[in-house]
Structure 1
Amino acid sequence: MTTLVQSAGAAEPTQFVILQDRKLAFRSIGEGVPILLCVRFRGTMDSWDPAFLDSLAANGFRVIVFDYSGLGQSTGESSYDPRSLARDAIGLLDALGIEKAVIGGWSIGGIAAQIVLATAPARVRHLALIATVPPGPLARPGEQLFFELAKRDNDFEDVVTIFFEPASPASREAAKRSEARFAARSGDRSPDVPVDWAAAQLGDRPRNPVFPAEAVLHALKATNIPVSHIGGDHDIALPVENWHALSGKLPTLHLLTLPSTGHAPHHQYPELCAAFLGFLAQAHGIGCVGMPAAAAKAAS
C-alpha cells in the first residue's frame, strides 16, 4: 500500500511516497513523457540545475527528481550500492503508477540507471546517461584529484574543477551562472549528504573497472532501447573517453560530448542538453517536443 503525502514549500513542492520500510522524497515538474532522474554522488534533488529541469519540462517531459533512501529528505538506510539506488528508482515508478519512463542518471546515478535497464528493461523508454561510466574495463580511469575534492566541503573553485573546466573563461562564467541559479532557490531544500559518510563510501583512488557488471554490459549490447550519454570533454571523475571506446559496440548508443566542460555538462549547457534529449525522444517516437500537455500526459 502506497501513501502519498504532499508538503508546502518551493515552487515545485516536495512530495513523499511510502515504500514499506522507507519514505522517498521527490518532486515532479511539468507534464509529458516521464523522465526519472537519478542524482550524482553527494547529490540530492537540489543538485540538479533548475535551468536543466525547466528546459526538460519545456521539451515535453514530466521531470521527476528524488532523494535516495536515507539521504536528503528520504528516510531508510542510506547506501551508495548502485543496486539499492536502482531499487529506489523502480520503487518510485511503482508508487507513482508509471509503467514506463525515460530513466536518466548522472554519475553514480547513471550506474543505477543502467542497472534499471538490465533488471527491468520493460520499464525503460530511453536510457539517458550524463557524465557516468559504462560497465567493464575502462579505456581511461578517473583522476586522483576527483577523489581529493569529493571528500571535502567544496568552495566555488572546487565546483569549477569538478564540474566545469577551470582553464576556460567561458566555462568559469557558465559556473557562475549555474551557481546563481542554485542560490536563487529558497525553502523546501533537502539536507546535504554528510561529507564524512559519503567519503567513506568512495574509496581512496580510481578503480578500473568501476563496476564489473557483465549482465549490464550484455544488456547494453543487446537492447533495442535508445541509450544516450552526455559528457564533458574533461571529466576528472568519469572520463567520457570510456563511452567513445564503446562507439560501434553498443547498437543504440548516441553520444554527445561537449567542449571545455567537466562532470556537469548539463549545468554548463542546460538548454542544449535538454533539447538533445527532447530531440532523441521525438526521433524515437517517445514523445513530441512541445506537444500539448493533454496529449503528452496520454503518451505517458
Structure 2
Amino acid sequence: MVQVADGVQLWVEERGDPGAPAVLLVMGAASSGLVWPDELVDRLAASYRVVRYDHRDTGRSTRGTTYALRDLATDAVGVLDGLGVDRAHVVGMSMGGLLTQLLLLDHPDRLHSATLFCTGPLGGAAGEPAPPPADDLLAFWATMAEPRDDEAELAWRAEHWARLNGDQLDVDPAEWVALEQRVAAHSGGLLPATPHAVADQGGLARGAELAAVRVPVLVVEAPADPAYPPPNAQLLAGALGNARVVTVPGMGHALPPAVLGPLTDAIEEHLARSM
C-alpha cells in the first residue's frame, strides 16, 4: 500500500528487476489494476520494473473519499514518489490515457515516454471535435447504477466488456466473467462502478496545451473501439504534434488475448526508442 494523499492509500504491485527502468500502467475508470493482463505485465517485466495499481474506489485502494478525476493523475505521481521512481514510461488506457495526458502537461520531467490507447484528446484540443461513444454503449452505461444482486451484476459487467470489445474479434464470454471474478476476489467483492463516473471532471479541458508536449508519445489506434471510436487516435496524435500512431487490427476497448501480442510489441518498441 502506498500513501498518495492524506487518508488515501493505493494498492500497488511491482514485477521485474527493481533496478530496471520503470513502466507505470494506468488503467481506466472503475477498473482495478488487475485488469492489466498478466501476459502483458510479465512480458514487459522481463526488461522493465513494471508497476500497476488500483485507483481510488477500485480494488484494494481507499474508497469513499471526495476527489476530482484530475486528482487521480496526482495519485499516479504519488505512486512513483512512494516507490522512489524519478522517471517512468507511462502507459495509459481509456481514462488512464486522459490522466497520462495530464502528466505530460504537468509533470513531463517524470516521464521517459507515454503510450496512450483506447482514449482521445483532452477537451479543447485543436482540430475537429472527437466523436462520442457509440449510442448503444451510452444507453448501456445509463443502466450502470441500477440495483442488481451479485449474479446479475457479474452478468452486467461481462456484457459490458463484450460490448467494449467491439465487433471485430470473437471472445468467449466466459473470459469476461473470469476477469470480473478475479477482480472481485482481489477487491473483496463487486465494488460499485459509479464513483469515477460522478467525480468532478473539472480541469480536463486542456487539450490546447498538448501541442507543447516534447516527451515521446505513442498513440495506439483501436479501430473497433466503441467508447473512443476512430478517428480519436488520429485526433489525439494531431493534438500532440510529436506522436506516432500504430494500429492494432481488430482491437476494441478491451484487452483480450488476441490483441496482447501486437499491443505489447508496439509498447516495447516505443520504450526502446524512447530511452
TM over 0.5: yes
CA separation of 1:42 and 1:126: change in aligned 2, threshold 3 A: same
| CA distances 1:226-268 after superposition (whole Å, capped 9, x unpaired) | 1112231121111241221355553321112222231125754
- Taking a change above 3 Å as real, the CA distance of residues 21 and 187 of structure 1, as seen in their structure-2 partners, is closer
Q: Aligned partners of 2:235 and 2:184: how far apart in 1?
A: 43
Task: Give 2:148's aligned residue.
Answer: none
Report the Cα distance in structure 2 between the residues aligned to 1:257 and 1:213, rounded to whole angstroms: 26
SS of the residue 2:270 aligns to: helix
Q: Which runs of 5+ in 2 are unaligned?
A: 145-152
Q: Relative to 1, partners in 2 of residues 1:124 and 1:267: Cα closer, same or farther, differing over 3 Å?
A: farther
TM-score, structure 1 as length reference: 0.74
- Superposition misfits of 4+ residues, deviation over 6 angstroms: none
- Kept in 1: contact 2:117–2:222 (CA 8 A): no
Give the 3-state SS of the residue equivalent to 2:75 in structure 1: helix
Distance in 2 (alpha carbons) for counterparts of 1:74 and 1:187: 13
Aligned residue for 1:39?
27
* Residue-by-residue CA offset, 1:132-190 (whole Å, 9 max, x unaligned): 1112352312223223333434254432211x233x4xx113x5585487479599612
Provide the residue aligned with 2:42 in structure 1.
54
Q: Compared with structure 1, are the counterparts of its residues 222 and 147 closer, same or farther at alpha carbon in structure 2 (3 Å cutoff)?
A: same
Root-mean-square deviation (CA, aligned residues, Å) is 3.0
Tell whether the 8 Å contact from 2:114 to 2:218 is kept in structure 1 after alignment.
yes
- For residue 89 of structure 2, the aligned residue among 98, 102, 105 is 102
Residue of structure 1 in register with 2:193 after alignment: 195
Residue aligning to 1:118: 105
Between the aligned partners of 2:110 and 2:158, the Cα distance in structure 1 is 38
Could you tell me which amino acid in structure 1 is paired with residue 3 of structure 2?
A: I
Tell me the TM-score normalized by structure 2.
Answer: 0.80
Kindly report which structure 2 residues correspond to 1:123-142, keeping only aligned pairs within 5 A, or say none: 123-136=110-123, 138-142=129-133
Aligned to 1:11: none
Structure 2 equivalent of residue 29 of structure 1: 15
In structure 2, C-alpha distance between the alignment counterparts of 1:69 and 1:186, rounded to whole Å: 15
| CA 1:27–1:54: 2 relative to 1, 3 Å | same
CA–CA distance in structure 1, aligned partners of residues 159 and 81 of structure 2: 40
Contact 1:82/1:109 (8 A) holds in 2: no
CA distance in 2, matches of 1:273, 1:115: 23
Q: Counterpart of 2:250?
A: 260
Shift in alpha-carbon separation, 1:98–1:266, aligned structure 2, 3 A? farther
> Residues 18 and 244 (structure 1 numbering): CA distance in 2 closer, same or farther, change over 3 Å?
closer
Specify the alignment match of 1:228 in structure 2: 218
Following the alignment from structure 1 to structure 2, what is the Cα–Cα distance between the partners of residues 116 and 271?
27
Q: Which of residues 77, 81, 92 is equivalent to 2:68?
A: 81
Determine if the alignment matches structure 1 residue 239 to structure 2 residue 262: no
Name the amino acid aligned to 2:36.
Answer: W
Cα distance change, pair 22–155 in 1 and its aligned pair in 2 (3 A): closer
What is the alpha-carbon distance in structure 1 between the residues aligned to residue 257 and residue 121 of structure 2?
A: 21
Give SS of 2:92's match: strand
In structure 1, stretches of 5+ residues that fail to align are 1-15, 204-209, 287-300
C-alpha separation between the residues in 2 aligned to 1:266 and 1:100? 29
Give the secondary structure class of the aligned counterpart of 2:61: coil
Take 2:89 and 2:123, find their aligned partners in 1: how far apart are those partners?
24
Tell me, yes or no, if structure 1 residue 64 matches structure 2 residue 42.
Answer: no
**Matched residue pairs, number?**
256
The alpha carbon displacement at 1:29 in A equals 1.5
Secondary structure of residue in 2 paired with 1:239: coil
The answer for the alignment partner of 2:267 in structure 1 is: 277
Secondary structure of 1:269's counterpart equals helix
CA contact (8 A) 1:50 1:181 kept: no
